Structure 1
Amino acid sequence: MKLKLLIITIIISITSTQIIRAQNLKWSNNTADILEQGRKEAGIFAPLKTGWKNNTELSVHPLWFFIIPNASIKKQWKSNEKFRFSSKHTFTYPTMLYNMISTEGAGGILPETSTIPQLFKLNSTALLSIDKFNQTFTFTAGADLCLSIGDSDFPYIEWHFVYPRTYSLNNTITPHAGINATGVLYGNFIYEYRFETFFLTNADAGVITENQLKISWLKSDKFAIKAGMIYSYGKFPFDNDGGLYPTFDLMFGF
């Protein structure tokens, strides 16, 4: 159970984006906005992010880097009074992690007999944000792409949240799309609701949906707390099923 929670934490940490409102660009967010140049932030579980020149945001998760190497770039292409448009590209190399968990006994998630190829995974997502009714609405669409080199023989990890994000490792591509709404609840408390759908590409697969609700408390530009829940539901290899997961992080800006 402890290892399962660790794997889920790693996947959430690397694939997640922060949920602070678009109106406060001091903090990164799950919109088409980016960090201002020179701004840095990190969380206990969230990646280290840096606002770079040319409307670019870079991130890497140092805590997990030596288990699953990763890097991300977010570029804002257009910004005006009507909308903002950005794209985000995240690279991960999960081969090392999959080799670690291919064992019998404690720590074994995949069979010891699994053959893990060289796996190079890229997630590319387009983000379109608009401000309406004192809220920010963001529409996203993208895909997980995986290049596999070498012999391959390993099963899915059939866990809620993890399954759709690792599906492309066995099947090359996983399209996804979603809508996000964020705004002020009260004072420095910010909410975010997100609905996302993963379209699994095999004929015997289906659709996985996720509903996320998160609340952030912006103490200052230097410190924030966020907490929430993610509910995942859809067609898994064993049956239609759902699972509820809590999220929590302490954020530091500098």
Structure 2
Amino acid sequence: MKNLIYIAILSGQLCSAQNWFPHSAVPLPEKRWDVGIFQPFRFGVSEKLEYSLHPLLFFVMPNLSIKLSHKDVGSWSTASRHGFFYPTPLLNMLTHEDKFGMISPEFDPIPRLLGLYSDWLMTGSLSPSTYLTIKTGLSAGISFGDLDERSSIDLPLVYHRLGVFYNKWALRLGVDLTGQIAKKLRFLVDGDAHVLPGFDGDLSLEHKGVLIWDKSEHFRLICGYKFVWGRFPFGTQARILPYIPMIETWVPFIDLQWTGTRI
């Protein structure tokens, strides 16, 4: 179960990279779409608007985000990204005493929780095939009821993603670099920081490396890893993900992605 949660959250992190890759300030072209097994479905509504959601998570954690393109700043493309997620159904599923439980039933039911976030993105070209994106943003966590801090899930990525509901707000900072290695092979590397001022476990530093093989115009294979270092109430912890607890080892993250254009 722990590994499934890792994969679910990583689904929004290990993404493809092109000049319209998800963290870029450049939206998908109009009527263009892409979707992966663990990645969001994205659709270009117009030249300035893109929306995305995670189909795999939607029924247990409803979510939606939009990206709005803005006026260029010099040679930099700019955009804002706004979204929400509602993790209460998923957290209530994990509130059990048995082996599938990760939250004590004494906290059942988990109150209704609404996560909101807004990011500012700037993307610039370092060369004809290499792009740099700088991003910063804020997250807010709204609890429609009493949320006990002992109900937190002390796992890498999970703890700091959901920490916004205990801390009420968080700061997000990051940088992405993407480029072409060969005709059909690209890379994405990034670094991100999640800061929760005043929280017991106030910092998470993350880095991922991804290779993207464009087999055809409509299909690509993605392989990568994610490194996480974070502060927790019990100290600090670092881990390479995905991690399989049963065999105590790391395995590469692999995903398949399909792309197309709506007629």
TM-score under structure 1 length normalisation:
0.91
The 8 Å contact of residues 137 and 180 in structure 1, kept in 2 or not, is answered as yes
Aligned residue in 2 for 1:41: 34
Count of residues paired in the alignment: 247
- Equivalent residue number for residue 125 of structure 1: 119
> Which of 82, 85, 99 is residue 89 of structure 1 equivalent to?
82
Q: Partners of 1:187 and 1:81 in 2: how far apart?
A: 29
Out of 12, 28, 42, which is 2:10 matched to? 12
Q: 1:248 aligns with which of 251, 254, 260?
A: 254
Larger mean Cα displacement after TM superposition, 224-233 or 52-61: 52-61
- 8 Å CA contact 2:201–2:230 kept in 1: the answer is no
Shift of 1:215: 0.7
Q: Which runs of 5+ in 1 are unaligned?
A: none
Shift of 1:64: 1.8
Measure, in 1, the Cα distance between the counterparts of 2:152 and 2:240: 20
Distance verdict in 2 for CA 1:207–1:151, change over 3 Å: closer
Cα distance in 2 for partners of 1:210, 1:17 equals 12
Residue deviations 1:59-86 (CA, integer Å, cap 9, x gap)? 1222221111111111111247701001
8 Å CA contact 1:17–1:30 kept in 2: the answer is no
Q: 1:151 to 1:204 in 2, by over 3 A?
A: closer
Relative to structure 1, is the Cα distance of residues 30 and 104 closer, same or farther in structure 2, using a 3 angstrom cutoff?
Answer: same
- The residue aligned with 1:176 is 172
Which moves more between the two structures, 196-205 or 222-231?
A: 196-205
SS across alignment from 2:65? strand
Asked if 1:137 is matched to 2:127, the reply is: no
Aligned to 1:166: 162
SS in 1 for 2:90: helix
Contact 1:19 1:30 in 2 (8 A): no
Match of 2:46 among 41, 53, 74: 53
Does residue 81 of structure 2 align to residue 75 of structure 1?
no
Partner of 1:66: 59
1:80-133 deviation digits (Å, cap 9, x = unpaired): 770100111221111111111011012101111114111010121111011113
1:152 counterpart residue number: 147
1:21 maps onto 2:18 in alignment: yes
Q: CA separation of 1:42/1:200 partners in 2, compared to 1, >3 Å: closer, same or farther? A: same
Q: Which residue of 2 aligns with 1:215?
A: 211
Residue 195 (structure 1) shift: 0.6
Matched-pair contact (CA < 8 Å) for 1:127–1:141: yes
Residue type of the alignment partner of 1:190:
R
Work out whether residues 27 and 47 of structure 2, in 8 Å CA contact, stay in contact via their aligned partners in 1: no
SS in 1 for 2:226: strand
- Following superposition, the deviation at residue 203 of structure 1 comes to 5.3
Alignment of 1:98 with 2:91, yes or no, is yes
* Amino acid in the other structure paired with 1:122: L
Q: Which of these residues, 182, 186, 189, is aligned with residue 186 of structure 1? A: 182
Looking at structure 2, the residues matched to 49 and 63 of structure 1 have their Cα atoms a distance apart, in angstroms, of 13
Going from structure 1 to structure 2, the CA distance change for 1:73 and 1:212 (only over 3 Å counts) comes to same
Q: Which amino acid aligns with 1:224?
A: R
Structure 2 residue runs of 5 or longer lacking an equivalent are 242-251
1:93·1:119 contact (CA, 8 Å) conserved in 2? yes
Taking structure 2 as the reference length, what is the TM-score of the superposition? 0.88
Q: Alpha-carbon deviation of 1:11?
A: 1.7
- In the alignment, what sits opposite 2:249? none
| C-alpha spacing 1:80/1:174, structure 2 compared with 1 (3 Å) | closer
Paired with 1:227 and 1:217, the residues of 2 have a C-alpha distance of: 9
Secondary structure at 1:103 match in 2: coil
Q: Please say if residues 200 and 232 of structure 2, whose CA atoms lie closer than 8 Å, have aligned partners that are also in contact.
A: no
